[in-house]
Amino acid sequence: MSTVKKYVNSKNKSSYLTIIAVIIIAIIVALLLVPIHVSIILFAISTIGIVISIAMSKPELTPEDELRKSTIEQYQVPETRGALLRFAIEATQQIRPVSAAAAKFSTEAKRQIWLNEIWTAKCRKVYTTARLAMKDDAKSLSEITQLITDAGIKV
C-alpha cells in the first residue's frame, strides 16, 4: 500500500462510516442481549465512541505547519537536469512510510501523511517539469521517474 494514500479519502468516507455504524449497532445489540449491568454497557459504548473519534480525527495544524505547506507549494521547481535530479532526491526523501495502525491513532503519523501529500504533489510537478525539460535526455528522465516511483508515487 502506498504511503501517500489518504487515511480516509472522500470517496470511501461514506462506506467507511457505514461500516463503523453497522459494527456499533451490532455491538450495542449484543450488549443489550447479554444480561449485564447498564453501566458496563454505557462504558463499552463510550469507549467505542472515543476510539472512533480518535481514529477519525485529523491533526491540528500549527502556524508552522501552514508556513511549511506554503513554502513547499510555492518553491519553484528547477528546470536544469542536475538541479531537477537533486530536487527529486530531496523531495522523495521527505515522503516517509506510515503504518495503517499509526495512521488511525497517532497525531504524528497523521501529520506525516499530511506532509506526504504535499511532497507527493511537489514530486508530480518535478516529474511534469522533467518530462518537458528532458524530452531529449531519456536517461535523466528515467532516473527521475525511478526516484518518484520508488517513493510510491504513481506517475
pTM for the whole structure: 0.63
At 4, is the pLDDT very low, low, confident or very high (cuts 50, 70, 90)? very low
d(C-alpha 137, C-alpha 79), whole Å:
13
At 123, phi and psi to the nearest 5?
-65, -35
At 115, is the pLDDT very low, low, confident or very high (cuts 50, 70, 90)? very high
Return the domain boundaries, the chain: 1-155
C-beta of residue 103 within 8 angstroms of C-beta of residue 113: yes
Let me know the angle formed at the C-alpha of 58 by 9 and 109, rounded to the nearest 5 degrees.
Answer: 90
